[in-house]
């Protein structure tokens, strides 16, 4: 029987003759706008009862970029921090991938502007759009590119979005959820650990679950129109996450030959922190094993997973040898998960 959607699976092996070492994440970084929007402010703006936003979503506050801040600004900031943490210079980067659905503007790619501002003159750069699942998809695209060029073996992957500009302030389904931010990782050859297994899937027949997100009105729409802004079917997306996340976790861990109980942390896209906590517990990750940043950042779309990774690195949870499972669900509908054995920070294989 043919199933709906397409799937892609991979395990952490390398096929390129020049890249015998495993691939891992060797540096992380974040960049967040300084403006904080609290749940009390959201409640007042929506004329909701005090505490409604936090009760409904689990979000206490989120970040909102001022008009003078561009998506590229955030992406560059996160990328620079990740390179610094990895001990990698921009000249050593061969590829830059930016996972985003809110480029400013769509042409040229955000990644091209990041390449220029970082001074990574030897890197080729492109954007990837898989909505909230974009960062996990970008990791799978990036992984086989690591080590292909022995002089420039590193790949910079950035997840970033300014989704507060793409939602209707009067829409209770979307506006309270979304914040702005950027997170980044550097992929490189490592001596031990690294990527172990990945599962990706898309079911385009569910494309109407989440649509829109253009910042100006579309041609033919009135200037005051909100029809171009992001809309989603929250109940259906919630049901999809409850159905797919436990299956995704089981599939990826089985591919890697480990038990769910052996995985130290789940870092899941923060669609709605309250929903994610329930889904995570259903999948076997209760309490501190579920790395949650949505309470203070909200749903940052493509930035959600890398922000969670960097937070877990900064607070000391992710350390050498930790098993971490990254998972995300995004418009499309697309979803994916990848299991990583965490490498030593800044670990890199010496050139032969």
Chain mean position to CA 176: 19
Q: Is 269 noted as a catalytic residue in this protein?
A: yes
Task: Give all domains of the chain, ordered by start, each with its CATH number.
Answer: 1-352 (3.40.47.10)
pLDDT in tens, 46-56: 888 988 889 88
What local confidence, expressed as pLDDT, does residue 26 receive?
96
Give the tokens for residue 153.
């073996």
Residues recorded for the chain: 352
d(CA 242, CA 79) in angstroms, rounded, equals: 33
What local confidence, expressed as pLDDT, does residue 18 receive?
42
Q: Is 129 noted as a catalytic residue in this protein?
A: no
pLDDT in tens, 186-244: 999 999 899 999 999 998 877 666 656 555 554 444 445 555 565 656 677 778 777 88
For β-strands 36-38 and 61-63, DSSP reports them as antiparallel
Q: Is 132 noted as a catalytic residue in this protein?
A: yes
For β-strands 334-341 and 323-330, DSSP reports them as antiparallel
Cα–Cα distances (Å) from 52 to 40, 57, 59, 94, 313, in that order, read 9, 8, 10, 47, 32
Read off the pTM.
0.89
CA quadruple 114, 76, 99, 260: dihedral sign = positive
- pLDDT range class, residue 3, cuts 50, 70, 90: very low
pLDDT in tens, 133-167: 999 999 999 999 999 988 899 999 999 999 888 77
pLDDT in tens, 164-186: 887 777 777 777 788 999 999 99
What local confidence, expressed as pLDDT, does residue 243 receive?
83
Specify whether the CB–CB gap between 226 and 285 falls below 8 A. Answer: no
- Catalytic one of 31, 64, 132, 160: 132
pLDDT in tens, 309-349: 999 999 999 999 999 999 998 767 788 999 999 987 766 66
- Catalytic one of 64, 268, 269, 290: 269
pLDDT in tens, 275-284: 889 889 988 9
Residues 6+ apart with CB under 8 A from 148: 16, 18, 19, 94
**What percent of the chain is modeled with pLDDT above 90?**
56
For β-strands 93-99 and 154-162, DSSP reports them as parallel
Specify whether the CB–CB gap between 114 and 76 falls below 8 A. Answer: yes
d(CA 303, CA 134) in angstroms, rounded, equals: 9
- Catalytic one of 203, 272, 290, 299: 299
Token pair 């996450």: residue: 241
């Amino acid at each position: 029987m043919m199933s709906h959607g397409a799937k892609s699976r991979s395990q952490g092996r390398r096929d390129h003759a020049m890249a015998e070492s495993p691939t891992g994440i060797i540096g992380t970084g974040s960049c967040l706008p300084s403006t904080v929007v609290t749940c009390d402010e959201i409640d007042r703006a929506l004329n909701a009862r005090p505490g409604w936003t936090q009760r409904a979503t689990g979000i206490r506050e989120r970040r909102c970029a001022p008009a003078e801040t561009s998506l590229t600004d955030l992406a560059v900031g996160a990328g620079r921090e990740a390179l610094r943490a990895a001990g990698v210079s921009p000249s050593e980067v061969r590829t830059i991938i930016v996972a985003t659905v809110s480029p400013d503007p769509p042409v040229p790619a955000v990644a091209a502007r990041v390449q220029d501002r970082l001074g990574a003159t030897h890197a080729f750069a492109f954007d990837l759009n898989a909505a909230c699942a974009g960062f996990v998809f970008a990791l799978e695209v990036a992984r086989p590119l690591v080590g292909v060029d022995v002089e420039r073996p590193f790949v910079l992957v950035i997840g970033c979005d300014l989704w507060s500009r793409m939602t209707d302030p009067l829409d209770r389904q979307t506006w309270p959820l979304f914040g702005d931010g950027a997170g980044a990782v550097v992929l490189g050859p490592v001596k031990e650990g690294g990527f172990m297994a990945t599962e990706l899937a898309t079911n385009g027949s569910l494309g109407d679950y989440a649509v829109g997100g253009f910042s100006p009105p579309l041609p033919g729409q009135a200037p005051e129109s909100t029809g171009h802004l992001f809309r989603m079917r929250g109940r259906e997306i919630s049901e999809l996450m409850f159905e797919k996340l436990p299956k995704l976790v089981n599939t990826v861990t089985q591919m890697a030959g480990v038990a769910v109980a052996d995985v130290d942390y789940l870092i899941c896209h923060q669609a709605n922190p309250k929903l994610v906590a329930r889904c995570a517990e259903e999948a076997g990750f209760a309490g501190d094993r579920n790395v949650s940043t949505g309470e203070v950042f909200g749903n940052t779309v493509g930035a959600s997973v890398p922000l969670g990774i960097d937070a877990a690195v900064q607070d000391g949870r992710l350390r050498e040898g930790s098993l971490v499972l990254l998972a995300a669900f995004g418009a499309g509908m697309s979803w994916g998960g990848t299991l990583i054995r965490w490498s030593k920070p800044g670990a890199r294989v010496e050139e032969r």
